[in-house]
């Protein structure tokens, strides 16, 4: 189960499709879309216990987000780290729903926490690290 995130913004080509994918594969609920005319984006948020994921869809090709999407047609970011209670249980749950995990769930980071990575194609073009946190 995903329990936390610092903050991340993900550029997507289609807000509704991205929202459906996040709900289907991860059980994440995306809030209502909002428009920021000045930035040239339509956005919606996933509310987590102590953080947010911001999904941004460009309203126009000449906006910064539109230009990013031109260079990265599938959208995305480089990397984000999500906290989970159990990497093994989370990996099993998301693989069951069609997400691909790179490597196995026995890797550890430099702090000794168990980690795994979700394939970028299965999380809106972003490489995601699942990091186990002990309570």
Q: Catalytic amino acids?
A: 129
| DSSP state letters, 42-96 | EEEEEE-SS-EEEEEEESSTTSHHHHHHHHSTT-B-SEEEEEES-HHHHHHHHHH
Q: In which order are the strands placed within the sheet that holds 127-132? A: 2-5, 79-84, 127-132, 114-118, 101-108
For residues 28 and 90, is the Cβ–Cβ distance under 8 A? no
Where on the phi/psi map is residue 129: left (φ > 0), alpha (ψ -120 to 50), or beta?
beta
| Cβ atoms of residues 90 and 81 within 8 Å | no
């Amino acid at each position: 189960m995903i329990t936390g995130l610092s903050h991340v913004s993900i550029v997507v080509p289609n807000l509704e499709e991205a929202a459906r994918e996040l709900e289907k594969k991860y059980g994440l609920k995306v809030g209502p879309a909002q428009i920021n005319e000045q930035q040239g984006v339509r956005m919606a948020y996933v509310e987590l216990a102590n953080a947010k994921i911001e999904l941004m869809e460009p309203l126009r090709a000449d906006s910064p987000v539109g230009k990013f999407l031109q260079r990265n047609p599938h959208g995305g970011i480089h990397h984000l780290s999500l906290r989970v209670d159990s990497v093994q249980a989370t990996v099993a749950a998301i693989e069951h729903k069609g997400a691909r995990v790179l490597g196995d769930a026995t890797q550890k980071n430099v702090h000794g926490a168990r980690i795994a990575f979700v394939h970028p194609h299965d999380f809106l073009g972003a490489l995601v690290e699942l990091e186990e946190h002990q309570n």
